[in-house]
Structure 1
Amino acid sequence: MKSNGMQWSAWVLAAGLLFTVEASAQEVRHSGGGRFGSAGEIVLSSDLSGSIGYRSAGDGQFFIFLRPAGDYFLKENISLGGYLTLGTVFQEGDNQVEVGLGVRGGYNIWLNETVSVWPRLGLGLNHEDYGFGDRTFLAISLDAPFLVHLTSSFFIGAGPGLITELGDDTSATLQVSTLLGGHF
């Protein structure tokens, strides 16, 4: 008898969750001019990436970067923005710290009512301090996060990215980044 009551509770919970997800999807669909990618929309986000892997300019390293950003949709689905890079690389010896400033452009592509992909191309000027030396370099980034629009103004996402560093030591980093943001 007890398990039958638990089954009903599970069905009621599942139905409630399904209704909530559908209501969120309808809220995004009926948001009108405030839909992500609409001309005049302002997006505030933070890209966070962390990975363990190989950088072409060195040994395997663990690195984490935070990129607070702001973007503006100039026309339908076409964005222009800027970002600040704050990061650290944990490695043998002194850990390096990185700061930078960049600009980027993007194009939002809707895949369905609540999911889109937002490929972006960026150009930044970064500075690294190794503790025993430093370097300044140009960073070219290309990423394509898939966004899930949870409400009419909030989204989360993740996707692949490639960053090429041009300077004294040229390197390329392939990574997966997460994205959290809102728009108005």
Structure 2
Amino acid sequence: MKWNRMQWQALALGAGLVLSLEARAQEADTLGTQGSGNFGGMGQIAITSDLYGTMAYTSVEGPGDGFSISLKPSVDYFLKENLSLGGSVLLATTITDGDDDVSLGLRVRGGYNIWLNEKVSVWPKLGLGVAHSGAGDRTYLEIELSAPFLVHLAPHFFVGGGPGLVTQLGDGTLAQLHISTVVGGYF
């Protein structure tokens, strides 16, 4: 296989990003031990609640326009420094002109906390779950990618927010881009 110039540039860009993230992670190891109570330390348990609302048009069967709000109580365990594995429960409702929809689900997720300075970190997470929607009696697979920026206000307490993407696969496909907020603590 012969590689063209664009492919080599993309490979070089990817390698540069990986190396800079690795260097940033090594530098962040020293930041994580200062001032914030060392969020992301091995063996820690973090309890959070993510909340987001969207106004969207849905292309799956149903009424279309609506407002949805989702609450996801979550628990994460740090397997090693800054590397987490956890799960969440999805409680969501969509309010429309017709019948309102209620969704319930379970999700597993993995994440990695990256310190930006003594009080701020970003905690990107990738989750996979299954959910059931009462409207249309629909069960679907859900994939979520989120990257909240956390502000560590006090030892063992943080707030934050950031972008997220949820994709539902099943009877119909749905993708939602949203901004979510998170409140949490750890011990």
Give the TM-score category using the shorter length: 0.7 to 0.9
Counterpart for residue 83 of structure 1: 88
Distance 1:136 1:158 in 2: 28
1:50 to 47, 53, 56: 53
Quick check: 1:56–1:173 contact (8 Å CA) kept in 2? no
Q: Percent identity?
A: 58
> Does structure 2 conserve the Cα–Cα contact (< 8 Å) formed by 1:56 and 1:172?
no
Counterpart CA distance in 2 for 1:30 and 1:170 is: 44
Instruction: Give the TM-score, by structure 1 length.
Output: 0.79
Instruction: Tell me how large the CA RMSD over aligned residues is.
Output: 1.4
Normalized against structure 2, the TM-score is what?
A: 0.78
Specify which of 67, 70, 77 is matched with residue 75 of structure 2: 70
Question: What is the deviation of 1:52?
Answer: 1.6
46-55 or 133-142, larger mean C-alpha shift: 46-55
Structure 1 position 145 matched with structure 2 position 148: yes
Report how far residue 145 of structure 1 moved: 0.3
Aligned length: 153
Q: Map of 1:126-141 to 2, 5 A cutoff?
A: 126-130=131-135, 133-141=136-144
Q: Within 5 Å, which residues of 2 pair with 1:1-184?
A: 29-30=34-35, 34-57=37-60, 59-130=64-135, 133-184=136-187
| Matches of 1:65 and 1:172, distance apart in 2 | 15
Is contact 1:55–1:173 with CA below 8 Å preserved after alignment? Answer: no
Measured in 1, the distance between the counterparts of 2:59 and 2:113 equals 30
Gaps in structure 1 of 5+ consecutive residues: 1-27
Q: Highest CA radius of gyration, 1 or 2?
A: 1
Q: Match of 1:144, as an amino acid?
A: A
Structure 2: state its 5+ residue gaps: 1-32
CA contact (8 A) 1:50 1:64 kept: yes
